[in-house]
Structure 1
Amino acid sequence: MTVTKKDLALYLHENLGFSVRSMGQVVDKLFEEMKLALERGEKVKIVKFGQFTPYKRPTRKGVNPKDGAPILIEGKKTVVFYPSSTLKKLINEE
């Protein structure tokens, strides 16, 4: 199952009673703020869920699969997610 931003807005609407449209705006603003923080190089920590951390991959050596020639693979920025211990326990419960 995939959870979309629309699903989150509907869930908030059903549980808080505000309009779907206003809850959609809240969800959009939340993700926009998370994105901006990550772009600034800041960690985004959600208690009892996990932490999103910006990470810079270093440049590394690689091999061109077509001809076997050595190449340099440029480093790039990415985001790493570390789940909280609470989330890990929840997922691993049987």
Structure 2
Amino acid sequence: MEETSTLTRADLAEALHRTIGISRTDALHMVEQILERMSDALAAGENVKISNFGTFLLNDKAARIGRNPKTGIEVPVSARRVVTFRPSQGLRDQVAGSRGT
């Protein structure tokens, strides 16, 4: 299996610095502000849609009975809200097209 790398906040800030020419500090601040706004929106119950990228959706999961896979004992799993990501068709096509490289 091939090793995959991870894109970080610092990588995004560096790309902004190189592409736009703003300082590294300003670029990192901009990335932080965008991520903070997205987090705040999700925490407030809003979905986050980024055109040509995808949508971060909030889903409410009902309480249920789960099972400990090690012991087989049933345990209650509380209701919770989860964030899921649905990629746009353009992103799906781009990712699918990059598999051959």
How do 1:1-80 and structure 2 match up within 5 A?
1-65=5-69, 67-80=71-84
**SS of the counterpart of 1:41?**
coil
Structure 2 gaps, min length 5: none
CA spacing shift, 1:67–1:87, aligned 2, 3 Å = closer
Task: Give CA-to-partner distance per residue, 1:15-71, whole Å, 9 cap, x none.
Answer: 101100001000000000000000011010011100001112110112345654432
**SS of the counterpart of 1:56?**
strand
Normalised TM-score (structure 1): 0.91
Return structure 1 stretches of 4+ with deviation > 6 angstroms. none
Normalised TM-score (structure 2): 0.85
**For residues 31 and 76 of structure 2, what CA distance do their matches in structure 1 show?**
40
Structure 1 gaps, min length 5: none
**For residues 27 and 57 of structure 1, what CA distance do their matches in structure 2 show?**
30
- Count of residues in Structure 1 that have an aligned counterpart in Structure 2: 94
Q: Percent of aligned positions with the same letter in both sequences?
A: 35
